[in-house]
Homo-oligomer: A and B are copies of this chain.
Amino acid sequence: MLNIPALEKLVHELSRLPGIGPKTAQRLAYHILKSSENYAGQLSESIKRVQSEVHTCPSCFNYTDRAICKYCEDPHRHNEMLCLVEEPSDIVRIESSGAFRGRYHVLHGVISPLEGITAKDLRIAELVRKIDSGVEGDTPTIKEVIFAFDADLEGDTTSLYLAKILQGKGVKISRIAHGIPMGSDIDFIDDRTMNRALENRVEL
């Protein structure tokens, strides 16, 4: 349609990004084309650079550009608490709340039979090894593992699977609470959330 191979190619590559449809991809491509050579160069360069400089932390599998990530490195974080997340970006979300000062472990996905993702595709063996070895960094045993997955079917499946695997290892297992989001109007809460909120009601 555009009849310019270089432009069509860019639209194609952009439309492979998540949440970017063909229409948006076209708008972005035109913007890049119209932008300064400097901007296009910087964008192009930073895409290449992020892949060459950033890798996963060998301990928690968060992204880092150093030998070990900043959360594993930090001597002031609690070694007894381990928060399990699906993706490195979830760590950013949790950190911004300021409510957790323990360590992290990134699974890089959740169990999803529909997408063909099984337990073997995730960083579960490394998690078990970490708990079994009884050492996090170079100090005491992990006392509690907190599951912080998305509140959906895949998240629940992964929670159930991991709870079973970690059973009998002497660690407390918990998951972040599901319920009414703060500041929201009860009128607009969906049935499943309301169900979960009632089920998990907290005694006052």
A residues near B, CB below 8 A? Answer: 1-7, 9-10, 13-14, 16-20, 24, 26-33, 37, 39-51, 53-54, 63-65, 70, 87-89, 92, 95-96
Contact = CB atoms under 8 A, between A and B. Distances in A.
A28 B14 CA distance: 10
Contact of A5 (B17, B32, B65): B65
B70 A7 contact: no
A39 B13 contact: yes
Nearest to A29: B50
Given A50-B33, A63-B4, A64-B4, A43 B26 contact: no
A23 to B, nearest CB: 10
A48 B29 CA distance: 11
Given A5-B65, A54-B4, A92-B2, A40 B47 contact: yes
A46 B4 contact: no
Copies in the complex: 2
Given A7-B63, A26-B92, A63-B7, A51 B47 contact: no
Contact of A92 (B1, B5, B14, B24): B1
Contact of A44 (B17, B24, B45, B89): B45
A53 B6 contact: yes
Nearest to A16: B39
A6 B65 contact: yes
Contact of A10 (B5, B41, B47): B47
Nearest to A71: B3
A50 B43 CA distance: 13
B92 A33 contact: no
B50 A47 contact: no
A40 B44 CA distance: 9
Given A13-B46, A40-B51, 11 more contacts: A1-B95, A2-B92, A4-B54, A4-B63, A7-B65, A9-B46, A32-B47, A33-B50, A33-B63, A40-B48, A44-B44
